[in-house]
Copies of this chain bind each other. A is one copy, B any other.
Amino acid sequence: MEVFMDAKELDQSSLLIDETLYTTANGYLGIRACFEEGYPEQFKSIRGSYINGFYDEIDIVYGENAYGFPQHAQKMLNVIDPQGIEIHIDDERFSYGSGTVHSTFRELDVEKGYALRKVEWESSKGHRLEIGIKRMASFHTLELFTIDYTVKSLNFSGRIEVKSTLDGNVKNYTDSTDPRVASGHEKMLLVTSTGVHESVGSITAKTMRSELVLVASMSHSVEMKYLSTKDTVIGSYVTTIGAGDSFNFVKYVTYTDSIRHEDLLEKNIEINKEVRSKGVAFYYREQQNYLDEFWNYALVDIKGDKAAEEALHYSTYQLMASVGKDKHCQLPAKGLTGEGYEGHYFWDTEIYAVPMMTLTKPDIARSLLAFRYSTLDSARERARTLGHLRGAKIPWRTIAGSECSGYFPAGTAQYHINADVAYAAIQYYLVTKDLKSFLEFAFELLLETARLWIEVGHYSKDGQFKIDAVTGPDEYTAIVNNNYYTNAMAKYHLLWTHTIAGLLAENHPSEMKKLSERLDLTKEELLGLRRASDKMYLPYKHDENLCLQDDSFYDKKDWDLENTPKENHPLLLHYHPLTIYRHKVLKQADTVLAHLLLDNESEEYLKASYDYYEKYTTHDSSLSPCIYSMMAARIGDTEKAYSYFVKTLRLDLDNLHHNTKDGLHLANAGGAYMGIVYGFGGLRIKSDGIHLSPVLPSKWESYQFRFRYQESCVRIYVGDSIRIETDAPVRLVVYGMDIVVKGKMEVDRVR
């Protein structure tokens, strides 16, 4: 379905970007798309393989330390490299560094779930080969990565030697000049043993400080001779080939880790043997099955813009592929496609990824929330460190659950992450009505994070509930009082905590009684949460119909964005934080994001606020254009929505932020999906059901999307008219009108 052509000559910059773009991942493991055979010496590669949630611990060092600053951080490790395959022919090794590349082709097939690379190569002696390589990270067996390697000889007859390696001598990528990339701490995974057991070569490695253990094994569909060194296992295989003939082998690499598995080595070898005996074809079929089901709910068609459609399929696929599939992990900011932000989980997951998962694979949305629950003790401990007697503070960035941010004004101070997690849980409830998960864990998550608002806020003399000294989503404005986004989201969070408590008491009285006792929750406390919600202060400037970003934003000096040189973007790399904080300038949507998520203000306020903030917004964060796209659609500016949407779509494909080499911007990928569903489709999930207000960009003939709603699949076609299809009766609010759809229904599109 996706086809991307490759150049015949290597280019350093696009090489690193392609390594990211063609990553194969399944949410447990992610392998960057490096060339199996390596590159000529002068080229730099980020040869990375990652296991979601597998980390080592590093120290955080401060110019001036202070109480409560996290002293350690987790860091996602580059793990044992499964990629190495060399083809030797007539004393020459296949590589871009020798001979001639005649044609090359690369593809990520998002329907079938694998990446393909084809190269037609001629050795310096004139031997021509056609090499085809198919790589897959299996959704069926998360531990499995396969390389399916085919060599066809076009004019050569003779001996071909294959060397396939599993390499434990790995280190992380570092760049001391970019604050978004790690510096130092390269080598953290140490091989403790290597060995070969009945055609399965294995490497066991241990982290330096977190004491996690990882095993990787490889086997092949052909019989190889194995050799193990201190750090590597090498399989070699010799065959002869005639002109016009092909030969093929599959490399099966399996990973097990001490977070999820017991008896790591034995278990690993067992899995490896099983997958080899089943054969790769089985896993291709399962891959297809998995994806068929996924696309059934996730597919978006755009008529009249093939390129946009394909780009959207690509980013939707990669987001789903990187997102964690068990409670031990979540979604690294760059997924499993690169090392940017050290593999940390941010609010990106809840605000940008959970919505798509809730609508397409709610079991994954649930698992992402379960991760927050599984790390709730760390969040409680963090709240205590921050001086709060009750409640939990979700870390701004983490892998194992502890706060890993080394810069609190744009880290710890972002208290809104508590409400973001709660928002995702509430939206999950509204779509799935899965109250049982709330009984099991999600209510505790909701309550503990809600309790923090009572701790951090206070009632002012006039009885309003205010929240001081926090940072909103916009990181170009830090440590402010009454950030609109934070307060509005907290208001929603507190209200829904009260509401869900009521629903649980009504539907599961005895369980809820037990739960309340365990959580030391009284009626008075619940009323207190509700009261804080009711009394929540939101800053306005009513004579301009404005929602104010915070108490002081409106009075600041304007940043002269028009006369800021293009090369000075992103501002954070060219201006001191104080310079930025002092001005009216936004990194990303803030108040406008609250308006998208909560849909809580009148048309006039939505529109005036949008116009006001848009002119100060740099979109230096990749989390921003998608929000402006969706809200432009909301306030009726469909063409502006379209232009932001296009920027969102192409962000990584065109390397718009110049750092796609460090991984895909997966929150943005979620934002692209939402751009259709929430943006043009106008979807909002409220307590009274599903709201839709579709609009159609003039460049498109029509588009379709679908989503899960409880047990139904809802399909929406937006063209000259709106067509809605459901498997079962579903109540919807379309353009403000209540309708019940059974089977099919057509309504006029409002223009």
Name A's B-contacting residues (CB within 8 A). 60-70, 73, 179, 183, 385-387, 405-409, 411-413, 456, 458, 460, 466, 468-470, 478-479, 481, 551-552, 555-557, 572-579, 581-582
Contacts and interface: CB of A to CB of B under 8 A. Distances in A.
A577 B66 contact: yes
Given A62-B407, A413-B578, 12 more contacts: A61-B61, A63-B407, A65-B179, A66-B572, A68-B576, A68-B579, A385-B576, A412-B576, A468-B557, A469-B578, A469-B581, A551-B552
Contacts of A413: 578
Contact of A67 (B405, B552, B576, B582): B576
B67 A575 contact: yes
Contacts of A60: 63
B458 A576 contact: no
A572 B470 CA distance: 18
A616 to B, nearest CB: 15
A65 B65 CA distance: 14
Nearest to A70: B63
Nearest to A458: B557
A64 B551 CA distance: 27
9 A-B pairs with least C-beta separation: A63-B406, A68-B576, A469-B582, A64-B407, A387-B579, A458-B557, A60-B63, A61-B61, A64-B406
A64 B405 contact: yes
Nearest to A184: B61
A426 to B, nearest CB: 26
Given A385-B576, A413-B578, A469-B578, A481 B67 contact: no
A578 B573 CA distance: 25
Nearest to A71: B63
B67 A63 contact: no
Contacts of A386: 576, 578-579
Nearest to A178: B65
A63 to B, nearest CB: 2
Given A63-B61, A412-B576, A576-B412, A555 B407 contact: no
15 contacts: A62-B63, A62-B406, A63-B69, A66-B572, A67-B572, A67-B576, A386-B576, A386-B579, A387-B579, A408-B578, A468-B555, A468-B556, A469-B582, A479-B479, A481-B556
Contacts of A469: 578, 581-582
Contact of A582 (B183, B468, B478): B468
A575 B68 contact: yes
A574 B69 CA distance: 11
Contacts of A460: 555
A486 to B, nearest CB: 13
Contacts of A64: 179, 405-407, 411
A211 B569 CA distance: 37
A579 B407 CA distance: 15
B481 A555 contact: yes
Given A468-B582, A581-B469, A407 B66 contact: yes
Most buried by B among A387, A470, A573, A581: A387
A412 B408 CA distance: 16
A578 B479 contact: yes
Contact of A575 (B387, B412, B458): B387
A574 B68 CA distance: 8
A392 to B, nearest CB: 15
A578 B70 CA distance: 13
Nearest to A177: B65
Contacts of A407: 62-64, 66
A67 to B, nearest CB: 6
Most buried by B among A61, A65, A456, A469: A469
Contacts of A61: 61-63
A716 to B, nearest CB: 42
Contacts of A551: 551-552
Contact of A179 (B66, B481, B556, B574): B66
B478 A479 contact: yes
Nearest to A410: B64
A70 B576 CA distance: 10
Contacts of A65: 179, 183
